[in-house]
Amino acid sequence: MNIDLCLKQIKEHVKKIEYLRYTNNGLLYWDKITQMPTKGNEYRSEVMAYIAGQIHSLSQDERLLRNLAFLEKQNPDDLSIRTNSMLRKIKRNYKYTYNIPVEEYKAYIHLISKAEEAWAISKKENNFEMLEPFLEKIVCYFRKFADYWGYENEPYDALLEYYEEGMTVKKIDAMFIELRNFIIDYLKKINGSKENIVSFDFNNKFIIDNQINMTNEILSMIGFDFEAGRVDQSIHPTILTCSNKDVRIVTNYDKNDFRKALTTALHEGGQGLYEQGIDDELYGSFLAESASMSILEAIADYYENIFGKSEEFLFLYYPKLIKYFGELENISEYDFYRSLNKVEPTFIRMDADELTYNLHIIIRYEIEKDLINGKIEVKDVKEIWNRKYKDYLGIEPPNDNLGILQDVHWFSGYFGYFPIYVLGNLYATQIYEKLKSEKTDYREIISEGRWIELQEWFKEKIFSHGATWNSEELIYLVTDENLKVDYFINYLKEKYDKIYNL
């Protein structure tokens, strides 16, 4: 066998797996959360579990394994960068699927589908106890998965590695403890500021059609291609990709507050730009996806916060906001900017400001880490959650909906995922500093509405390469440095020192 034939056979097989993945995780899941009748959930769960089983089986194909073994014997220097990256990606995928018994994996997928449905019901009834049996089973699965996947120091390392290659509890703890301590101390300084930042009462009926039009307009202005994407509604915003030519943004609208639609359009829109910017040639290699979930989140964080909550963006776009929402006519651009960036501890993660948001994530990280490592049990989670909110944010959730029931992540099987939100912030600000150094007229680019230039920079530096490099490699290639906490802390201080006159 020669290398070219081997690669041809591998890519043909990988495409079969990709077809099923995009169908299951993209199209079927999109339909499930946006269109599917409630009574369809049971059978849809069976269908998705079956397809997941087929993906699992295809990953163990004997010819695929023989071809991989052949390529691994070759000199890496004789293979292209993308080929070496593909091999690494396939081995990672193989590790996370083959090491779990197929029937156990199918049972887990079925459980997750049922747990998501139960979560929605529990939210309506404001009752976490209904979900405890589901969460206990899910935690049990992930403790076993950690053993299947392997780890050096503690089980939770295996889950971190799944989402962020090379990441460990030791690394996360070092960064998160520094960040947590800074935020808690800095929050005290902000609370002591004499600056009066008005909190506007947005409890009005903001017409949903206007919010939809605003969302579509913003997405178009930042470069989202509606011929290769669409926007739908569901209870929880997300993005689902069937290919770089079929990117589906899922958002929701609140008639009492348009700001959620504004920030979600920018957040999910940033991710949509990433997915649409991936090189066509990467399909059939497992590389036609983001470098990692944390890098994908970094782009979302940049567009939502660094870009979307900046004076330059808001001052330029404010007349259009007034066009959609006449209630803003009596609020100045600057007052709206300060209000949108106001620091105020809140129970709901999705409503949090840029500063305190990170404490929401750190709380979840600390809890799920201890759950997987066996230091606490599910029956203890609610009490620990409420205590940490009081200790870190100075507020205690009065009920489950404002506390432990607010996120679907654990009930969708996303253990090890929460840390990527903070990592995304760290990556975003480090990339932002590099962007400003190369685009010396950065402020003018935003204030003049030349936003496509930002998309083009990101596409060249990050989007087009897909998963050719992992996060650690990519951040060094883009910024010439390893990941640092300093950039994010400095960004927060610069922004809020000015707003609060510290």
Q: Which residues are catalytic?
A: 268
Counting DSSP H helices and E strands in the chain, the numbers are 21, 3
| Helix locations, 37-131, DSSP H | 41-58, 62-72, 81-98, 102-125
Backbone dihedral angles phi then psi of residue 245, each to the nearest 5 degrees? -105, 5
Give alpha helix (H) positions in 99-129: 102-125
Tokens linked to 196: 């009066």
Helices (H), 150-251: 155-163, 169-191, 208-222
CB 446 within 8 A of CB 311: no
Backbone phi, then psi, for 204, in 5-degree steps? -120, 170
Tallying the residues shown for the chain, one arrives at 502
CA-to-CA dists, residue 279 to 226, 354, 399, 468, angstroms? 18, 32, 46, 11
Return the H-helix or E-strand segment holding 229. Answer: strand 229-233
Question: Which residues, at least 6 apart from 422, have a Cβ–Cβ distance to it below 8 Å?
Answer: 175, 176, 179, 358, 361, 362, 365
The one-letter amino acid at 342:
K
How many angstroms separate the CA atoms of 15 and 12, rounded?
Answer: 5
Residue with tokens 């029956």: 379
Sign, CA dihedral 23-97-411-415, equals: negative
Is the dihedral angle over the CA atoms 26, 31, 34, 39 positive or is it negative? negative
DSSP tag of 240:
E
**What burial letters (b/e) apply to 191-224, b meaning 16+ CB within 10 Å?**
eeeeeebeebebeeebeeebbbebbeebbeebbb
Contact 415, 372 (CB under 8 A): yes
- Alpha helices for 394-470 (secondary structure H): 419-438, 442-447, 452-461
Amino acid, res. 156: Y
The tokens describing 66, both together, are 């023989």
Please check whether residue 289 is in contact with residue 466, taking contact to mean a CB–CB distance below 8 angstroms. Answer: yes
CA–CA dist 338, 318 (Å, integer): 13
